[in-house]
Structures are given as structure tokens and as C-alpha cells.
Structure 1
């Protein structure tokens, strides 16, 4: 009997091989530069199999960082309404997700990112490409300022996550979410659309 050559067929290990190849690609090249085709080649599978298991590139990326929410479903609510209150809605959405039962996975990812450069790179890519870019691209701001604005917003949400969920600094750890929205939202708004000079 002749041995089959070519791409590996789907089996229980295929999903994990794809995830491992995707983690490496996203960490090394970033979300934009990594392609489904290159990830499939590294995993030894057909690109169609990657789509079969994970759907889109965004869904594959979310699976690699184990984020249980889809920013594409959350961002429209952040952007709906008064543009001068996007910061408040962003903080509120962030707290709603992190305070929910799925927030535990995000806390685990944050803890891991503190001690692992590889995980930190994946988390950076996730925040930059899946969350902040989706918000900033819809705002009326100078495109040249987008990287700085996104990084400044990230300092606030990552700092809030660290203090509330990892270090558990009081009174932030037990504060009512609306108190945090009211106090942190304006700072986030300034970073999103305000004067940075």
C-alpha cells in the first residue's frame, strides 16, 4: 500500500497544530503580516482547513489569545451615540466584559502577559488590531496621531485591569463600575479625541 503524501488530513491534533502555528505567526509577525496561508503551511494543512476550524483570521486570532468575546460585536455599541462620550462607553464596555464570568480568561491572559514576552506580544496585537483600531478608525482625528492615541488609551485600560483584577488595589477593586466610568471615561475621551499638546 502506497503511503499518502501531501497535507495532513483533519484529526484531533490538527486544531492544536493550527493554533500553535498561529500563535507563533501572530507573535512574530503581528496580526496584519500573518496570513492564513502561511499559518496553514506552518501547520502542514490546507488553508481551507484553517477556515473550517476557525472561520476568519480574526476568529483564529481570538482563539490564539483565548479571548472569549468578539470585539467586532462590542465596538458598535461603544461608537453609537454622542462622540464626546465614546471614552465613557469604552470604559463601561471594558468593565462589563471583565466583571462578567468570561472575565476570568482575560485576567489569566493579563497575568501571563506580565511574565511572558510572547504572551505580551499577542495581547498587544489583540488590543491594537482588534479593539483600539476598530474604535479609532471611526473617530474624526488626525490619522498620524492614531498610534499615540491608541497607546494612551491602552495605558488606561491595561492599568485599570491590572489594579482592579490582578493587584486588586482598593478602592478601585471594589468600586462601582459607574464610578470608574465617570472618573476614567473623561481621560480616555481626551486620549481618543482631545488635544494632546
Structure 2
């Protein structure tokens, strides 16, 4: 033999011959040479595709000769990974930055909407952003913490009686003005009494 084979992925040397094999994520086709991608997300596949790293293999070739030298798949286009690529022997792993999750294809990263889980831990308003989120308080409330995870009612009546000419009544997130008995609001005003 001349030391070459027709194997597409892996070549296992045997006495006087060779046997082709496939990397993780592939299976040998009926021709005994070609490797076919396994769809790990196929419903017929027993392997679940959830919060985990999915291993994928690229063709393991060196001028169509069998090689035991590892190829760093991450060195070319980041292995096709959206965020991070970690080379392993004969394969590689894709992973994502915080705030993202690895898609079923094992390469793409999708934003996690942290607000969908318990409102992101926010007391009032949660706003999702790419790879993160932030909390804020509704009008009439102020942040008890820098991250606005806890909000407290603003007592508008403490500042200049809320702008009321007579009585100010604080309510959650707002306030109301009232007039003393025998007085009415002036011309549709909600703050000035006469």
C-alpha cells in the first residue's frame, strides 16, 4: 500500500489495510468511507440537546493521509463557534458568554431573556438586553439599590406638600390632593383649593 486512504474523517490502521471511522457527531455511511453528520437535535435521537456543550468534529485530514496529530479546529474561523471555541483532541467545544445559551446546533449562541425567570429578580420592571438585563422602578418609586432590584414608594407629600394647597395623601406610586371640608378645587385643578 502507498500509505494513503480514502477515509474522510478518521483512519484506523490495521495489518495490511485500514478501517475508516468518524469523529464525534458523525456516523460512517454505507460506503465505509464517508461520514454523515448526526443531528443531535433529531427527536429520534436519544441524546438530549439542552444546557450542555455539544461536541462536533471536522474532517480529520492531512493530504488524505491518516494522521494522529491533532488539528486545532478553533484556529480557523473560531471553529464556527459564535463566542468561544476550545480545542480538544480530535474535536472542539463551543461555549457562550454569560447571558447567552448554546443553541442545539452546538455553534450559535442565543440571548437568555433573564426577565422570563422570576422577572429577573427585579422588584418592578425588568428590561432584557443582549447578554444581560437591568431592573428599574416605575414612576413614583425610587431605587433602594444601585441595580434597582428593590423599589420603594416615593412619598411625594414630603416635598412641598406634593404641590397640594391643602391636604396631600400619599398613595403607592403616586399621591392625591384633597380640600378641607367646605372647600373645592379651583376651576378643575387637582391641587389648588378655594
Q: TM-score range by the shorter chain?
A: under 0.3
Bigger share in helix: 1
TM (norm. structure 1) is 0.21
TM (norm. structure 2) is 0.21
Q: Compare relative contact order (CA 8 Å, sep 6+) and give the higher one, 1 or 2.
A: 1
